[in-house]
């Protein structure tokens, strides 16, 4: 089975110093870059997703609930929307085959809601390259990583989350996310970083 690696939202706003920081995010950016550099043919393709908000409506809030609404983050054209500087080099080097933008006018937690700049959705892009399985890594375990993995299963892919390469917002929500992923048939390995 041809496998792809999906790197979820390793962006400045989701790492320490960003608008919606996840503790451990910067370390995961380093680890994920090392994973990609050392993959040595393990993956047929490596792709990345990117929050790319223009006007996502109620997803932005001055009084966020941190489940459906959050402080302003990853707005198109802002520094916070850029990839973390420890991850960016693997993108610009060509080690990442494609970037999928999500959430211009919605919350869009799942990478499978994203599309290339030319409009090709993630699932369609993967199937066109005969990918049947995906490993998911990135930020945050209990939000966009979870949503991407669940949508991957719904789309018919064999999905595995590499927890050593994820960062969670909080232990309780990460634990609940892992239970939900297991129940959906998502493979899990390693231990998630939860430093909150």
Active site residues: 9, 102, 144
For residues 74 and 21, the answer to whether their CB atoms sit within 8 Å is no
Cα separation, 175 vs 168, in Å, equals 9
User: Burial code of 46-63, b = ≥16 C-beta within 10 A, e = fewer?
Assistant: bbbbbbbbeebeebbeee
Report residue 66 as tokens. Answer: 């941190």
Report residue 59 as tokens. Answer: 């997803």
CA end-to-end span of the chain, whole Å?
A: 37
Q: Which of 40, 165, 54 is nearest to 107 (CA)?
A: 54
Q: What contacts 180, CB < 8 A, 6 or more positions away? A: 146, 150
């Amino acid at each position: 089975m041809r496998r792809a690696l999906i790197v979820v939202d390793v962006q400045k706003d989701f790492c320490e110093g960003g608008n919606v920081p996840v503790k451990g995010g910067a370390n995961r950016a380093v680890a994920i870059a090392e994973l990609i550099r050392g993959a040595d043919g393990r993956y047929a393709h490596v792709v990345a997703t990117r929050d790319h908000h223009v006007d996502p409506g109620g997803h932005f809030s001055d009084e966020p609930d941190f489940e459906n609404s959050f402080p302003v983050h990853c707005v198109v054209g802002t520094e916070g929307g850029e990839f973390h500087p420890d991850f960016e080099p693997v993108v610009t080097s060509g080690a990442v085959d494609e970037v999928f933008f999500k959430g211009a006018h919605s919350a869009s937690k799942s990478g499978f809601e994203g599309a290339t700049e030319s409009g090709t959705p993630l699932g369609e892009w993967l199937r066109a390259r005969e990918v049947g399985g995906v490993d998911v890594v990135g930020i945050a375990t209990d939000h966009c990583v979870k949503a991407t993995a669940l949508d991957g299963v719904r789309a018919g892919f064999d999905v595995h989350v590499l927890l050593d390469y994820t960062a969670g917002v909080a232990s309780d929500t990460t634990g609940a996310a892992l239970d939900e992923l297991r129940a959906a048939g998502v493979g899990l390995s390693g231990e998630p970083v939860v430093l909150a």
